[in-house]
Amino acid sequence: MGSQILIVTSESPGFVMSGPAIRAWHLAHALATELSVMLAVPAPSTLSSDAVRIVEYERQNGEALRTCAAEADVLLCAGFLLYRYPFLSKLPGPLVIDLYDPFVLENLEIHSVKPLTEQAGIHRINLSVLNEQLARGDFFICASETQRDLWLGMLLANGRINPYTLGADRTLRQLIDVVPFGIPDEPPTRRRSPLKGAYPGIAVADKVVYWGGGMWEWFDPLTAIRAMAEIATRRSDVKLFFAGVRHPNPEVPSVRMVDAAQRLSRELGLTGRCVFFNDWVPYAERGDYLLDADVALSLHFDHVETRFANRTRLLDYIWAGLPMVVTRGDTVGGLAEARGLARTVAPQDVGGVAEALLALLAEGRTGYTDRTQTLVEDLRWSKVVTPLVEFCRRPHHAADHLETTVAPRLTPTLLAKAWQSLRRRGLGGMLRDVRVYLNVR
């Protein structure tokens, strides 16, 4: 089947999954239609596959990961994996970096309550991790053209847009291309009704507002809850369901926004009456929940993360033909609005959210499924993965990496190592360390 592709994820696909695990799972299976694919996941994993070879590795040592990586012709990874397992960056085959998750921008918000000097230290580490990926990758994928603009700027700053890469491809699509977060090829099917008449406090005749996924610091469930307080004065049959407040990855710390949302809901007397907090919806069952809801909701603050975000749960809403209310500003929300699938509101507009929800509930879901079909076809995993498939059919190192023997790249990591060596061992020691580092690249 040609090249052996290894996809490594730090989030284990299983009964419950977050965005990175979902993306790794679907990318692996989309590639596996014509290539041999291994998917390396943290142990333990509960999923199996007939199409993809699942390899479990221990987070602490990664020895199993080292073994399967030695078999790979192409490696695809994201996030902090190169930082955690440096041997991955020294494999002989081409390295694909998935930049769909702008973690540096997200972490700025996550750590914003810490002392400023601590925030700055964390940011320096995050930026160093990102720059290392940008220096070492042979091919990059991201989730939108807006994201691609961001990463083109970062690649330029890291010296990766140069006479070699531009000479190989004037569009730079051979260096970085768009692979959106996709939609399953199969439509959702209803097997049961997990909400109406089944979830405690939600009656059969109620109308359900569905908040899919988690509540990260850049999201705004507080406006959603305040909007529900307004709606509750006019209608008693509207219920807001938060699908996930407990992240499936045990390494992810508790989220401040979850505590703030639950506290506000209690203070307003809404919890268990018209606002409900669920642990996490099992991935295989999400279609039942989406089909049992009446309208979806995704709200965020006015933050730089929004412009470059890829709101993955909005893809689930589109997949299920579920009308939605979203804060304007992100790529997927804008796409849904342009296709008539969403109503957008200004950040923190409580009254606007309440009115938009009531208007969509009055319209009902009829017609939305038909309206989404063209967009669903465009976003199927089997279609959006095409640039990655093309690269993996004929994998190659980036043009400037082929020239490293002529012009070694002074990456941010190399410069940091050189400075540390100079302080510890003097000029001679620094030069020896730099030569060693360049030789193993």
pLDDT the model gives residue 11: 82
Nearest-5° Cα angle at 48, 137 to 82: 20
pLDDT the model gives residue 154: 97
pLDDT the model gives residue 14: 72
Tens-place pLDDT, residues 233-270: 999 999 999 998 876 665 666 678 999 999 999 999 99
Q: What are phi and psi of 344, to 5 degrees?
A: -105, 150
CB 344 within 8 A of CB 328: yes
User: Residue type for 243, please?
Assistant: A
In the sheet that holds 139-142, the strands lie side by side as 53-57, 36-42, 4-8, 74-77, 95-98, 139-142, 176-178
pTM score of the predicted model: 0.85
Q: What are phi and psi of 12, to 5 degrees?
A: -80, 120
pLDDT the model gives residue 382: 94
pLDDT the model gives residue 249: 62
Q: What are phi and psi of 28, to 5 degrees?
A: -60, -45
Find the DSSP H helices in 320-385: 331-338, 350-363, 368-378, 381-384
Query: For residue 208, what are its two tokens?
Result: 């359900």
CB 293 within 8 A of CB 322: yes
CB 184 within 8 A of CB 258: no
pLDDT the model gives residue 441: 35
pLDDT the model gives residue 419: 60
Tell me whether strands 295-298 and 207-211 are parallel, antiparallel or unpaired.
parallel
CB-CB neighbours of 441 under 10 Å: 14
pLDDT the model gives residue 251: 61
Minimal CA–CA distance to 243: which of 277, 219, 272?
277
Q: Collapse the DSSP code of 329 into the 3-class scheme (helix H, G, I; strand E, B; otherwise coil) and give the result.
A: coil
CB-CB neighbours of 363 under 10 Å: 14
Calpha distance 192→273 (Å, rounded) = 23
CB-CB neighbours of 75 under 10 Å: 26
Length of the chain (residues): 441
Calpha distance 226→301 (Å, rounded) = 15
Minimal CA–CA distance to 77: which of 61, 87, 88?
88
pLDDT the model gives residue 369: 76
Calpha distance 227→232 (Å, rounded) = 9
Sorted by where each starts, the structural domains of the chain and their CATH numbers stand as 4-182+384-407 (3.40.50.2000), 207-379 (3.40.50.2000), 410-441 (no CATH)
User: What parts of the chain have a pLDDT lower than 70?
Assistant: 1-2, 247-254, 403-441
CA distances from 364 to 124, 337, 355, 357, 372 (A): 48, 17, 14, 11, 15
Calpha distance 72→96 (Å, rounded) = 12
Helix axis angle for 221-232 and 350-363, nearest 10°, is 60
Calpha distance 97→160 (Å, rounded) = 14
Calpha distance 228→270 (Å, rounded) = 8
Residue keyed to tokens 């995704």:
298
Buried b (16+ CB within 10 A) or exposed e, 13-37: bbebbbbbbbbbbbbbbbbbeebbb
How far apart, in Å, do the first and last CA atoms of the chain sit? Answer: 29
Q: Collapse the DSSP code of 24 into the 3-class scheme (helix H, G, I; strand E, B; otherwise coil) and give the result.
A: helix
Minimal CA–CA distance to 139: which of 391, 410, 310?
391
